[in-house]
């Protein structure tokens, strides 16, 4: 994936047809490991093609995919056992938390500067 991203960045940077050496150098300059076999696949696959057209065609294919949608079927209800049926537990309302204690003002001895 890094190989494709670096190839795209090189094209966006003005290099119309990046070579294996260009992609490898950019990867190494970025601190990433370069795998020449993988880079060669990317460069050979995109050689002579307009990158924006390749991306546009790919987006059209992704847009036509169906990801399922809809909802899952409802689970079947379990039969009720009338003999051993218990009443559901009633929920009790939670009591509100107690208010935080009020802090008392301290006299920090400002020498009467704030006494009015």
Digit-by-digit pLDDT tens for the chain (116 residues) are: 889 999 999 999 999 899 999 999 999 999 999 899 999 999 999 998 998 898 888 888 887 777 666 555 555 555 555 565 566 666 677 788 888 887 776 666 666 665 65
Structural domain contains residue 48: yes
What does 32-79 look like in DSSP terms, one character per residue? ----HHHHHHHHHHHTTS-HHHHHHHHHHHHHT-----S-PPPPPPPP
The count of domains in the chain is 1
SS3 25: helix
Tell me if 54 is assigned to some domain.
yes
For 34, the domain range is 2-63
- Alpha carbon 5 to its chain centroid, in Å, reads 18
Residue 86 within any structural domain of the chain: no
Yes or no: say if 3 and 38 are a contact pair by the CB < 8 Å rule: yes
Please answer whether residues 3 and 23 qualify as being in contact, where contact means their C-beta atoms are separated by less than 8 angstroms.
yes
Terminal-residue alpha carbon distance, the chain: 72
Distance of CA 54 to the CA centre of its chain: 25
Among left, alpha and beta (phi > 0; psi -120 to 50; other), residue 48 is left
Is 85 contained in some domain? no
Q: What is the CATH number of the domain that holds 34?
A: 1.10.10
Whether residue 15 lies inside any domain: the answer is yes
């Amino acid at each position: 994936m890094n190989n494709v991203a670096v190839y795209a960045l090189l094209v966006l940077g003005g290099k119309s047809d990046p070579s294996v050496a260009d992609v490898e150098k950019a990867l190494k300059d970025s601190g990433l490991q370069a795998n020449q076999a993988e880079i060669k696949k990317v460069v050979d696959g995109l050689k002579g093609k307009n990158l924006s057209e390749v991306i546009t065609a790919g987006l059209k294919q992704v847009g036509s995919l169906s990801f399922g949608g809809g909802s899952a079927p409802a689970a079947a209800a379990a039969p009720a056992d009338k003999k051993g049926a218990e009443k559901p537990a009633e929920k009790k309302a939670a009591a509100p938390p107690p208010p935080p204690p009020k802090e008392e003002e301290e006299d920090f001895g400002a020498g009467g500067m704030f006494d009015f």
